[in-house]
Structure 1
Amino acid sequence: MTEFVQAGEVRIAFDRAGQGPALLLMHGAEASRQMFAALVPHLAKQFTVIAYDQRDCGETEAPERAATLADLANDAQQLVKALGLKRAHVFGSSFGGRVAQALALLHPRAVDRLVLGSTWPLPRPYEELCPDARRLAELRRGLPGTAEELASWFFPEAFLAQRPELRRVFAAARPETARSARRMATVATTLPQGVADIVAPTLVLAGELDRVVPPTVTLAMAGRIRGADAVLLPAIGHVTAMQAPEVLARHMVRFLNPEGVHA
Structure 2
Amino acid sequence: MKIAWESTGDGPPVLLIQGLGYGRWGWEPVVSGLAPRHRVLCFDNRGIGESDKPEGPYTAAQMAGDALQVLDEAGIERAHVVGASLGGMIAQELAVAAPARIDKLVLCCTTSGGPDAVPMPDVTKRLFAEAPSLAPEVALRRFVENALGTDPPEALVDDLFARRLANPPDPAGWQAQAAAGLGFQGVDGEITAPTLILAGTADNVVDHRNVEQLARSIPGARVELLQGLGHLFFWERPDEVVTLIEDFLG
CA contact (8 A) 1:204 1:219 kept: no
Farther off after superposition, 173-182 or 33-42:
173-182
- Does the alignment pair 1:119 with 2:113? no
CA separation in 2, counterparts of 1:51 and 1:204? 19
Q: 1:164 to 1:231 in 2, by over 3 A?
A: closer
Question: Is the contact between residue 206 and residue 219 of structure 1 (CA under 8 Å) also seen in structure 2?
Answer: no
Partner residue in 1 for 2:70: 79
**Structure 1 residue matching 2:82: 3-state secondary structure:** strand
CA-CA distance at 1:211 after TM superposition: 1.2
User: Sequence identity of aligned pairs in percent?
Assistant: 30
How does the TM-score come out when normalised to structure 1?
A: 0.83
Matches within 5 A, 1:149-160: 149-160=142-153
Higher RCO, 1 or 2 (CA under 8 Å, sep at least 6)? Answer: 2
Q: Which residues of 2 match residues 231-242 of structure 1 at below 5 A?
A: 231-242=224-235
CA contact under 8 A between 1:152 and 1:160: conserved in structure 2? no
Aligned to 1:179: 173
Kindly report which structure 2 residues correspond to 1:33-112, keeping only aligned pairs within 5 A, or say none: 33-112=24-103
CA distance in 1 between counterparts of 2:212 and 2:39 reads 28
| Cα drift, residue 86 of structure 1 | 1.4
Given the superposition, is the C-alpha separation of residues 214 and 90 from structure 1 closer, same or farther in structure 2, using an over 3 Å criterion?
Answer: same
Q: Distance in 1 between matches of 2:229 and 2:169?
A: 30
Structure 2 unaligned residues grouped into runs of 5+? none
Closer/same/farther in 2, CA of residues 234 and 23 from structure 1, 3 Å limit? same
TM-score, length-scaled by structure 2: 0.87
Structure 1, unaligned runs of 5 or more: 1-9, 258-263
Paired residues in the alignment total 246
Q: Tell me how far 1:192 sits from its aligned partner.
A: 5.8
Distance in structure 2 (CA, Å) of the matches to 1:62 and 1:175: 11
Contact 2:48 2:170 survives alignment (8 Å) = no
Q: Could you report, residue by residue, the CA deviation over 1:208-229 in whole angstroms, capped at 9, with x for unpaired residues? A: 2111112111244113210011
**What SS does the corresponding residue of 1:253 show, helix, strand or coil?**
helix
SS in 1 for 2:68: helix
In 1, Cα distance between the equivalents of 2:116 and 2:47?
A: 21
Provide closer, same or farther for how the CA distance between residues 198 and 125 of structure 1 changes in structure 2, counting only shifts above 3 A: same
1:242 to 1:167, Cα distance in 2 relative to 1, 3 A: closer
The verdict on how the C-alpha distance between 1:231 and 1:175 changes in structure 2, with shifts beyond 3 A counting, is closer
Going from structure 1 to structure 2, the CA distance change for 1:61 and 1:175 (only over 3 Å counts) comes to closer
How far did residue 183 of structure 1 move? 2.6
Alignment partner of 1:197 out of 190, 196, 201: 190
Change (3 A) 1:139 1:93: farther
- How far apart, in 1, do the equivalents of 2:65 and 2:169 lie? 29
